[in-house]
Amino acid sequence: MKVLFDTNVVLDHLLEREPHADNAERLLNLVDIGRIDGIICATTATTISYLASKAVGTPAAMDYLRSLLAIFDVACVDRQVLQSALGLGFSDFEDAVSHEAACKVGAAAIVTRNGKDFTRSALPVFDPAELLAAVHADPTL
């Protein structure tokens, strides 16, 4: 199952934000072992770099980003993605961009803790616990 990971889930893992860190860790482990085909939006990489550098320092942030890119594919953001995102009517443009990038790369779903921001999504949207339950309930995912 090809799933786009919203930035908040990745940050939960990196910054060990409780009570969300455990589910984020479990999801990233599923990506690492190939149970989930993980995707991040290109904007997630830049956001992670900026915020992580502030929180844990630039060298640690770059190490984390390298490890992230070793297991995740990246959904590109180009003019088509940005123009499509503008027309979605999402309340948050960043979420609209992530959604359109996910659609363009053929993602089957999005995992986020901000499901309310994706009410207009054409893709199924899971919170981390829901995605974990779905993956464990269906061994073919």
Two structure tokens written together for 40: 């991040």
d(CA 4, CA 97): 12
d(CA 90, CA 11): 22
pTM for the predicted model, two decimal places: 0.93
Q: What is the pLDDT of residues 82-103, one digit of tens each?
A: 999 999 989 999 999 999 999 9
CATH number for the domain harbouring residue 50? 3.40.50.1010
Q: What is the pLDDT of residues 4-53, one digit of tens each?
A: 999 999 999 988 889 999 999 999 999 999 999 999 999 999 999 999 89
- Beta carbons of 23 and 62 less than 8 angstroms apart: no
Give the domain range for residue 114: 2-137
- What's the pLDDT at 138? 82
Strands 2-5 and 109-111: parallel
Looking at the 3D structure of the chain, how many domains does it have? Answer: 1
